[in-house]
Amino acid sequence: MIMESRIAHGLEGTLQRVRRACEQAGRPTSGVTLVAVSKTQPAQAVRVAYAAGQRHFGENYVQEGLAKIEALGDLRDHLVWHLIGPLQSNKTREVAEHFDWVHSVDRLKIAQRLSDQRPAGLPPLQLCLQVNISEEASKSGVVPSQALALAQAVASLPRVRLRGLMAIPEPAHDEAARRAPHRALHALMASINAALQGGPHPPLDALSMGMSADLEAAIAEGATMVRVGTAIFGERPAPQHQA
């Protein structure tokens, strides 16, 4: 019962933050999807969040995510599973078979494998390109100057659908510094859409940005998906690296 009330409370508080940020930005609440980041949380925590109304869940580690998707197989048709963590090419098949979205595509080879391996009976896998928007040496993601070329290549793959861009900006202490990278990601998507215009691919419509600490800044700059873990589920134990 303690877990139930903590998660319901975290979820409600987060949805309130999303609603308030949308109001302040003059945007409809329906334009922002909350992806509850359930990494390191037990399957039961996802079940509890589902019972409280949550439908989209994000996982960082492939094996952990697959185990949870399987444990929650009875809810499969009601849940939308997002892979938001790094993806190695030897794990693409299981991801293509079991997830709905991948936010962390940063090279063509991964997208190609996901397209080749997406089962014919499923809708196209929804993809975002992860962009290293602050150009930090330590971060994964395509650098902004290469994003258009990657987007054009991924857009032509048959079994995936390129939806947008994702970023994990550096933590920042003031509002202006928090908003700048989100604004840059939005501008990058606009420039990619300008280049795709007139071609067969529909415009990108997904901006996956904003986490527990900066979801307001991200929504102010146009986020359509915020990925929130701590504010919903509480502090995580130390990360387990098992991608």
Ligand X SMILES: *Cc1c(COP(=O)(O)O)cnc(C)c1O
Burial (CB < 10 A; 0-12, 13-18, 19+), residue 76, is exposed
Residues 191-220 that bind ligand X (CB under 6 A): 211-213
Residue 215-234 contact track with ligand X, rule CB under 6 A, x = bound: ------------xxxxx---
Q: Which is nearer to ligand X, 58 or 196 (CB)?
A: 58
Residues 106-165 that bind ligand X (CB under 6 A): none
Q: Which is nearer to ligand X, 40 or 196 (CB)?
A: 40
CB of 194 to ligand X, least distance (A): 27
Number of residues assigned to the chain: 243
Q: How far apart are CA 24 and CA 81, in angstroms?
A: 29
With b for 16 or more beta-carbon neighbours within 10 A and e for fewer, the 111-145 pattern comes to: bbbbbebbeeeeeebbbbbbbbbbeeeebebbebe
Residues 39-78 that bind ligand X (CB under 6 A): 39, 60
Residues 73-102 that bind ligand X (CB under 6 A): 84-85
Q: Which is nearer to ligand X, 22 or 57 (CB)?
A: 57
CB of 130 to ligand X, least distance (A): 8
Q: Which is nearer to ligand X, 57 or 196 (CB)?
A: 57
CA angle (206 as vertex; 125, 138 as ends), nearest 5 = 85
Residues 160-179 that bind ligand X (CB under 6 A): 168
CB atoms < 10 A from the CB of 51, how many?
Answer: 12
Q: Which amino acid would we find at residue 180? A: A
- Residues in the interface with ligand X (CB under 6 A) total 14
Q: How many Å is the Cα radius of gyration of the chain?
A: 17
37 in contact with ligand X (CB under 6 A): yes
CB of 202 to ligand X, least distance (A): 25
Query: What is the pairing mode between strands 125-130 and 160-166?
Result: parallel
Mutual orientation of helices 144-155 and 108-117 as an angle, nearest 10°? 20
Q: Which is nearer to ligand X, 167 or 196 (CB)?
A: 167
Tell me which residues touch ligand X (CB under 6 A): 37, 39, 60, 84-85, 168, 211-213, 227-231
